[in-house]
Structure 1
Amino acid sequence: MQKLLIIAIIIVNFTFIYFFIRDLLKHKADVMKEPANPIWTPISQIVIFFFSTFGISDFAISTAIFPKAKWVSMKKLPGTLNAQDVIPIFVMSLAYITTVNVGIKTLLVCIVCQVIGAYIGPRFVVKLPENTIRTFVIVGLLVATMLIVAGKIGLISANGTATELFGWKLVVTGFLLFVYGALNNIGIGSFSLTMATVYAMGMDPISAFPIMMGGCAFSLPIGSMQFIKLDQYSRKITLFSVFGIIGVLIAVFLVKSIDTSVIQWIVIVVLLYSAYSLHLGNKKAKLID
């Protein structure tokens, strides 16, 4: 089953790559005219996905950087967050699924539920006004912050040992992963939410990684193909996301142990600052209206 799962991940992600390359070729004259910086964007991708490999939300970090740098509009931010993740998360998922033990039934239920949520989401997201998207992103940043803080001060237990879920726990987890898949499409990352859910269900904390990466390895390309169809993403940032693979490989293969405690506190400060900045942007937009 694990081999079949890996083959399915490869097929889905290469399908996304095909659609993305086809879209790039169709708009090749416009790609480099997009505002993302051709030097700092690749560097940011390496850093973002280095931290993401350790479970620090790349959605949250990207949201802290991209609007402030004016690399993408708020309207195209959700699609960009999803599309830029596909290739690095593809590599990340293969690394974790092949090295971390999780019950195959639990893994499949989580993945299928998240994929369904991700497929449904984009068609609703593109209809949302920019201020509404900004508000959802602010909520996502605050939720991610609260979950990190809860883990830091011991409100979320991280001492479980289970590698598989049964009964009501599996049903509840599946439903929550469906919701997280849909939330991905409005710029609310699922990593922190999935971690909190896995901890709450009494699973081994390391089990969160193949569940997170496995779910996203399907839900992100499927959701992102919808954003490509709807022309609601940054092609340039997504193109430069291939540099994120460097960050992933450094984290997975070269770094044997890392104290993420200090990094997490820095991320908390950045997330709160970003949420406040977006809130100011919302207030300014309302004044203009």
Structure 2
Amino acid sequence: MLVPIILGLIVIVNACFAFTFVKDLLKHKKETAAEPGNPVVMAIATFLIFLLSTFGISDFAIGSSLYPKAKWVSDKKLPGTLNTECVIPVAVMALAYISSIKVGLITLATAIVCQVIGAYVSPRYVTKLPTKVIKIFVSIGLIVAAILILAGKFGLYPAGGNESALTGGKLILFAVLCLIFGAFNNIGIGSYPLTMATVYALGMDPGVAFPIMMGACTFSVPIGSMQFVKLDSYSRKITLFTSTFGVLGVLVAAFVVKSLNTAALQWIVVVVVLYSAFTMIQSAVKMNREEKKNAEN
């Protein structure tokens, strides 16, 4: 009984985002068409990004590395874009993969509610951050993503336990962390690997990590993303392409390819992500020096 309810709520919440996005898209058709990016290249890139994301390679990490280099989106709008672009593809992932939920209802509800609160509150502050601060936050997110990919490859994650639900102090700690993870999404730090590491560290069965991650994100990210749309702090063009070609990537991964050896790709992603983080930090430092120099003059 729980599964149909969760899936129904996923459809409703994500439909609200889709309505908000389409309304904004129709209102800004000329601006969207004028945004940078070759349509063919964007179609191929977004298809591959979410095909790989379905197999566990972070779309936040790839997007943070690719979009600024390709000059498809400004640094200021990057956090919002990373969120809005993944809403529809992640909803499709959830509908394709969540067939059974073995996690305790209170634990799952805690993850969803707390991440939604974090995601709802933080966009209005993120959009006010200086560009150099956003660069630093995104760089931190990239480094965290690289560390967690490497930790997984070398078996450094906690092994997890047998619990399917949390109670007492562990549940309170989990609630606080989920609130933070929901806010982290909005500054470009993906919550998937952080949630997975937390689930394992708190002694939960690794099998419950997916419904918690997916459940929390498919509710929290649309809520935060609607704020980014209202604040005009995202790329409409990238979001449009991921909502079409990105979804195709998810469907191909889920129903055609079904399995993919990502071991070599993960090494490539780590190298690219760390390089992008390094160059972004360099850029932030350079901006800071220029601001100081201008202030002195």
Cα distance, 1:159 vs. partner?
4.9
Higher Cα radius of gyration: 2
Distance, in Å, in 2 between the alignment partners of 1:127 and 1:244 is: 29
Task: Indicate yes or no: 2:208 matched with 1:226.
Answer: no
Distance apart, 1:2 and its partner CA: 2.5
Q: 1:275 corresponds to which residue?
A: 277
CA–CA separation in structure 2 for the residues paired with 1:247 and 1:160:
33
Q: Cα distance 1:288–1:37, how it changes in 2: closer, same or farther (>3 A)?
A: farther
User: How many residues of Structure 1 are paired with residues of Structure 2 in the alignment?
Assistant: 289
Please say if residues 12 and 218 of structure 1, whose CA atoms lie closer than 8 Å, have aligned partners that are also in contact.
yes
Correspondences of 1:89-108 after superposition (within 5 Å): 89-99=90-100, 101-108=102-109
Preserved CA contact (<8 Å) 1:79 1:224: yes
Unaligned runs of 5+ in 2: 292-297
Q: Secondary structure at the match of 2:86?
A: helix
With normalisation by structure 2, the TM-score equals 0.92
Normalising to structure 1: TM-score of the pair?
0.94
Which sits farther off after the overlay, 100-109 or 188-197?
100-109
Deviations 1:216-273 (A, max 9, x none): 1111111011111111100000110121112212222233433332222221111111
130-139 vs 200-209, greater mean Cα deviation: 200-209
**Corresponding residue number in structure 1 for 2:255:** 253
**How far has the Cα of 1:100 moved from its partner?**
5.1
- Alpha-carbon distance in structure 1 between the residues aligned to 2:81 and 2:23: 17
Letter in 1 for 2:278: Y
Cα deviation 1:72-114 (Å, max 9, x = unaligned): 0000001100000110011111223224533333222111111
Unpaired runs of 5+ residues, structure 1, are none
CA contact (8 A) 1:91 1:248 kept: yes
Q: CA RMSD in A?
A: 1.6
Task: Indicate if the aligned counterparts of 2:3 and 2:101 stay in contact, CA closer than 8 A.
Answer: no
Instruction: Give the equivalent residue in structure 2 for 1:140.
Output: 141
User: What secondary structure does 2:260 align onto?
Assistant: coil
Task: Give, in whole Å, the separation in 1 of the partners of 2:224 and 2:160.
Answer: 33
Aligned residues with identical type, % of pairs: 57
**Is 233-242 or 196-205 further displaced after alignment?**
196-205
Using a 3 Å threshold, how does the CA distance of structure 1 residues 270 and 161 change in structure 2: closer, same or farther? farther
Give the CA deviation at 1:50.
Answer: 1.5
Q: Name the SS for the 2:85 alignment partner.
A: helix
What are the residue-to-residue correspondences of 1:9-28 with 2, within 5 Å? Answer: 9-28=10-29
Letter in 2 for 1:23: D
Distance in 1, matches of 2:159 and 2:272, equals 24
